[in-house]
Every structure is written in C-alpha cells, then in structure tokens.
Amino acid sequence: MPRNYASLSNCYKPLPFNLAQSQQASTTTTVSKKSKRDRASHELRVLRLELGITSATGSALVELGHTKVLCQVIGPTTTSTTTVNMEEGTLECQVQYVPNVGYPITSLVGAAASGLALSSETQQHAQQPTSGRINTQIGGVEKELANQVLSSLAAAVPLKAYPKNVIQLQLTILQDDGSVMSACTIAASLALVNASIEVYDMVTSATVAVMNDEDTTQPKLLADPTYSELEQADAVVTLSLLANWKEVTLWNQSGRLSSTLANEAISLCRDGCRSMHKFMRNALLDFEEPGGQKTTTQT
C-alpha cells in the first residue's frame, strides 16, 4: 500500500501550558475573556490533509492548526462474531487519545472536585485527581466522540452494498487543540475514500464558538475555535454536512443561544463546511497512488 511519508507540521514545540495564567485565574473570580485571535473570526486555521500514510486499507491525517487526528480504516472485512448483520454492513468506530499527550490535561488537573478530606494534611492531595480517575474521564470522552463520529458518517456510506461485512474506523487523536470532533469527522471521511469504500458524499464538519464580547454588544462568532477559545466561549455549535446533498448528519449545540444567533452560527458552520469540502476534494485529487494512478471522483 502507498507509503507517502507524511510529516507533522508544528510539532516541534508542545502546546504551551500557561502556568501563570491558570494561577492568576484561580485567584480572581472572573477570568478575563479577552483573547487575542490572530486570524479573522470566520477564518479557518492552517489546514493540512494527507492521505495514505499508513499501511492500513485507508488512512488520513488531518491537522487543523494544532489539532492533529489520524484515522485508519480497516475493511471491509468479515467478522467472527455471531451477531453479523445479513442485510447490510456494519460501521464501527473507535477513538483513542494518545496517552499522556493527546488529551488537554490542563482541563482535568484541578478541575475535578473532590470529597472532603478527613484531615487537613490530605486536603492538598485531595485536589489532584488520580490517574485512574483521569483515565475514566478520558475513556468517557473517547466513547462519546466515537458514537458521534459513527452517527455522522453512517448516513454517507451505503451499507447495503457491504452485507455481512464490518468496516472499522480507528481514530487516534495526536493532539487536541479545539474542534476535535470536526477534525475526526474529516479524517474519517478522507480515510474512507482512501480505502476505496463507496460513499454518497464526503462528510465535512465545522465548529463555531459564540462569545459575548464585553466591548461591543454584538456577540462574536468564531469559526474553528482553539481549545482556549472553546473554554471561554458561551456556546459551541458543531455541524457535520454532506455538502453536495445539503444534508446535516451531526448537529450539536451546547450553551444558550437565541434563535437568531443560533441560525447565524449554523450558517457560519455551513460556510466552513463548504470550504472544507473544497479543500478535501483538492487533497483527494492531488493524491497520487504509487504507480501514478490518480483517484477518480464522480460528482
């Protein structure tokens, strides 16, 4: 299988953990909401899409700024379980954060509230969550992401064309700096196409964060937010689209939004999805298999 040696961009310096900022945040009751954003509010981050980098049937590496996700597709293969579906194929998804590095630990350290310690000496220790607790929390997040990626992709694959087969998606999150759900969906769609699995359309995804600005009364809509922007946001909307069919496969909103603001956020997501679809298509057309064959797409 193709062996394009992909290199990760921006991976020489780890994401800065701003100790001074987090200590300052704990002593003041309000965290300053002003964050410098070096791109326009509707601009996506530096994007890198690579295909066919591992020896799995299909694979893709997606970098949205500092968020890096790798997806491998194994299949269609037969399954040895007794619960095989005779009518249509099964899509399975598994998400894993690279241990100790992938998950933004700053969101967990000190974030877990602990029960009352019996004595004052142990109270300091009680603040730090144990590694077992961190692992269960990460496991829960991974499961949730896997369910959502699965439901956003299931509409795109004509499973009736693969009866009794299992298509497995394995996502590895190398680094999470916001918009990880979108990055996973994009990586999974590209990997499916790279594995030559028939799809109705590629699924694209975009995340928008809504922040109430103190300076102006108009709330700000930020496309493709980073992790720190997500933490400060008042609401986050994630949308996954089948761009050519204009159908929504995943729709999530957390945080309060009035209906006009929600509609604006969804429109911004839709624009983000459309531009992402163009980038994905270009990445596919530029991808060359060894042997010089180019991928063909039917629109």
Partner 1 sequence: MASGLALQLSESEKLYLIDGCADNCRLDGREREDIRQYTIVTSSETTSADGHPPLMLSNGSARLILSSSGSTSTHILCSVKVEVMTPSQSQPNQGNLIVHVEDSLAANSSLSRKKNEEDRNRVQSIISELLATNLIDLESLCIIPYHYAFNVSVDVEILSGTAGSIIDACCHAIRAALQNTLLPKVVPSSIVNDAGTSMDPVGSSSSDLMLESDLSLAQTPSGIDNAAVVVTVTVCHRALTNSYLLLLDASLEEEACCFCQVHVAVDAREGTEPTICALRKTGNGSLPWELLPEITALAVKAVPMTKSSFRVAGSSRNNASLLQTQLDIQ
Interface pick for partner 1 out of 133, 246, 278, 294 (rule CB under 8 A): 246
Using CB under 8 A as the binding rule, whether residue 26 contacts partner 1 is answered as yes
Please state whether beta strands 203-211 and 220-223 pair in parallel, antiparallel, or not at all (unpaired).
Answer: antiparallel
252 counts as binding partner 1 under rule CB under 8 A: yes
Instruction: Give the total of residues touching partner 1 (CB under 8 A).
Output: 47
Residue 131 interacts with partner 1 (CB under 8 A): yes or no: no
253 contacts partner 1 (rule: CB under 8 A): yes
Q: Which stretch binds partner 1 (CB under 8 A): 93-101, 120-128, 178-186, 222-230?
A: 120-128
Question: Does the protein bind partner 1 through residue 126 (CB under 8 A)?
Answer: yes
254 binds partner 1 (CB under 8 A): yes
Complex with partner 1: residue 40 or 113, whichever CB lies closer:
113
In the complex with partner 1, the residue whose CB is nearer, 156 or 209, is: 156
How many other C-beta atoms can be found within 10 angstroms of the C-beta atom of residue 134? 17
Q: Order of strands across the sheet with 67-78?
A: 47-51, 58-64, 67-78, 165-175, 90-97
Cβ neighbors of 135 (< 8 A, separation 6 or more) are none
Nearer to partner 1, 107 or 295 (CB): 107
* 205: nearest Cα among 171, 182, 173: 182
| Residue 47, beta-bridge partner list | 64
Q: Which helix (H) or strand (E) holds 193?
A: helix 180-194
Closer to partner 1 by CB, 70 or 268: give it.
268
